[in-house]
């Protein structure tokens, strides 16, 4: 049995403590420049990882993170297992919080324009991404013959909109409660839900293990689970929350209950052949949809996850990937062009068909092109599954950073006109 020894525990705790402190410092620094704190956490990982610390001060890197510097050493395996477990739990909890931001009634209220925008802002990027990989498989480093699956994955990455980032931009521009704002938010929520469902199916398709479930069984199971959690499960949670919040210790009772159900939902989707993150995401939607969940409780859950567990995942991106050695400017340029053109044009067409005028439709198109955390999570999971390599993942991260920096100025320019 693999277990942490005395020295292993010291190495693990030093690495974990360093990750949390450095991530917090860079998150606060980036917030000073009005940039998302998640970018600061990724930069912290790059600085602590092989790209900077491992290159300039390899001895320090090997001392702090020997399980990354020398993964082939059997002495580092227990620490690897411990850190991998922390990262997986962090991703599950992060997706639970992301699900809590999805408000299904808002999606339903927007009706035709939200559905139309969602359909075309997913269809066109997925098609463009698929065709781009089919046309240049060598550029996207497709070596295992799964050109179709890689193309489909790249299309999904191009199609997703960063809900938290664009929500903040709309609030800053006083557009959140306008028709444009509601269309963007509703479409982004629906895209998040569909994007994770599609990606989970992609992961199940590339699973070659003997325990892999049939695709039909997996799809039927996830539809039944999602349908139950978003209807009966959501109502049960809503009815039980007032009792839990008054009878149990607050906020500990709700925190324990919500994360317990989150892990159970994640375990269920993992058991049916779909990644555990989708189960956590669906459970998060069920909790977030409850009118009886106190705003203060919601905020405590959000702060607990985003400030303690999320940084572990985002720093790990830079720790495990060498951004210098895997920086491919040609691939990055192609991915950015495909993303900007397909997403802006697709969302614009959908908004126009949904009934918005030309200027508002362009505003929706530019806003929907904001990429963020979910794409990075998608990329890291795909890389871990062997679907893409580190060069493609680095290109995805660069796309995310560039879209966050450019979305607000582009949207302001269109609105001001």
What is the value of pTM for the model shown? 0.78
Tell me which residues of the chain have a pLDDT lower than 50: 210-211
Longest Cα–Cα distance of the chain, Å, equals 66
User: What is the rounded CA–CA span in Å between residue 22 and residue 25?
Assistant: 5
Provide the pLDDT for residue 214: 65
Task: Tell me which residue has tokens 């210790």.
Answer: 249
168-179 per-residue burial string, b: 16 or more CB within 10 A, e: under 16 = bbbeebebbeee
What pLDDT digit, counting tens, does each position of 375-391 carry?
887 888 888 878 888 89
- CATH class of this structure's domain 97-416: mainly alpha
- Cis-peptide, bond into residue 208, ω within 30° of zero: no
398, 332 in Cβ contact below 8 A? yes
Which two structure tokens, joined as six digits, stand for 106? 């808002």
Other CB atoms closer than 10 Å to residue 55's CB: what's the count?
Answer: 13
Say what the pLDDT of residue 65 is: 86
> Secondary structure of the chain in the HEC alphabet?
CCCCCHHHHHHHHHHHHHHHHHHHHHHHHHHHCCCCHHHHHHHHHHHHCCCCHHHHCHHHHHHHCHHHHCCCCHHHHHHHHHHHHHHHHHHHHHHHHHHHCCCHHHHHHHHHHHHHHHHHHHHHHHHHHHHHHHHCCCCCCCCCCCHHHHHHHHHHHHHCCCHHHHHHHHHHCCCCCCHHHHHHHHHHHHHHHHHHHHHHHHHHHCCCCCCCCCHHHHHHHHHHHHHHHHHHHHHHHHHHHHHHHHHCCCCHHHHHHHHHHHHHHHHHHHHCCCCHHHHHHHHHHHHHCCCCCCHHHHHHHHHHHHHHHHHHHHHHHHHHCCCCCCCCHHHHHHHHHHHHHHHHHHHHHHHHHHCCCHHHHHHHHHHHCCCCHHHHHHHHHHHHCCCCCHHHHHHHHHHHHHHHHHHHHHHHHHHHC
- Over residues 202-239, the pLDDT tens digits come to 776 666 554 455 667 777 888 899 889 988 999 999 88
Rg from Cα positions in the chain = 21
Q: Which residue has the tokens 């720093």?
A: 315
Sign of the CA dihedral with 397 first, then 398, 404, and 410 last:
negative
The whole-angstrom separation of Cα 223 and Cα 345 is 31
What local confidence, expressed as pLDDT, does residue 177 receive?
67
Q: How far apart are the C-alpha atoms of 76 and 66, rounded to whole Å?
A: 7
Contact 328, 119 (CB under 8 A): no
Nearest Cα to Cα of residue 183 among 311, 356, 39: 356
- Quote the CA–CA distance of 170 and 165 in Å, as a whole number: 9
Instruction: State the virtual CA torsion across 14, 19, 25, 28 in degrees, nearest 10.
Output: -150
Distances (CA, A) of 231 to 160, 239, 285, 311, 415: 25, 12, 11, 32, 38
């Amino acid at each position: 049995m693999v277990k942490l020894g005395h020295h292993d525990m010291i190495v693990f705790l030093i690495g974990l403590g360093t990750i949390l402190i450095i991530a917090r410092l860079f998150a606060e620094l980036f917030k000073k420049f009005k940039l998302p704190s998640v970018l600061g956490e990724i930069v912290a990982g790059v600085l602590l990882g092989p790209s900077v610390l491992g290159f300039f001060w390899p001895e320090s890197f090997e001392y702090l993170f020997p399980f990354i510097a020398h993964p082939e050493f059997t002495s580092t395996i227990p620490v690897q297992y411990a850190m991998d477990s922390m990262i997986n739990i962090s991703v599950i909890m992060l997706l639970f919080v992301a699900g809590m931001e999805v408000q299904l009634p808002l999606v339903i209220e927007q009706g035709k324009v939200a559905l139309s925008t969602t359909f075309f802002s997913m269809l066109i990027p997925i098609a463009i991404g698929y065709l781009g990989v089919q046309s240049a498989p060598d550029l996207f480093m497709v070596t295992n013959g799964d050109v179709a699956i890689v193309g489909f994955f790249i299309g999904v990455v191009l199609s997703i909109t960063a809900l938290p980032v664009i929500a903040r931009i709309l609030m800053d521009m006083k557009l959140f409660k306008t028709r444009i704002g509601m269309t963007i938010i509703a479409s982004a929520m629906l895209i998040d839900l569909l994007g994770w469902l599609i990606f989970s199916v992609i992961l199940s398709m590339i699973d070659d293990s003997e325990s892999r479930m049939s695709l039909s069984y997996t799809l039927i199971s996830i539809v039944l689970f999602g349908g139950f959690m978003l209807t009966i499960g959501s109502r049960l949670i809503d009815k039980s929350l007032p009792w839990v919040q008054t009878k149990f210790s607050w906020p500990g009772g709700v925190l324990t209950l919500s994360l317990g159900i989150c892990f159970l939902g994640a375990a269920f989707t993992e058991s049916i052949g779909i990644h555990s993150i989708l189960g956590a995401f669906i459970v998060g939607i069920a909790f977030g949809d409850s009118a009886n969940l106190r705003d203060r409780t919601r905020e405590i859950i959000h702060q607990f996850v985003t400030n303690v567990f999320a940084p572990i995942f985002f720093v790990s991106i830079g720790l495990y990937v060498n951004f210098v050695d895997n920086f491919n400017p040609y691939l990055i340029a192609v991915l950015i062009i495909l993303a900007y053109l397909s997403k802006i044009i697709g969302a614009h067409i959908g908004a126009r068909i949904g009934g918005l005028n030309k200027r508002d439709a362009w505003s929706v198109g530019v806003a929907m092109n904001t990429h963020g955390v979910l794409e990075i999570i998608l990329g890291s999971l795909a890389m871990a599954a062997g679907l893409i390599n580190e060069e493609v993942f680095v290109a995805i991260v660069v796309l995310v950073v560039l879209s966050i920096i450019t979305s607000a100025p582009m949207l302001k320019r269109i609105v001001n006109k």
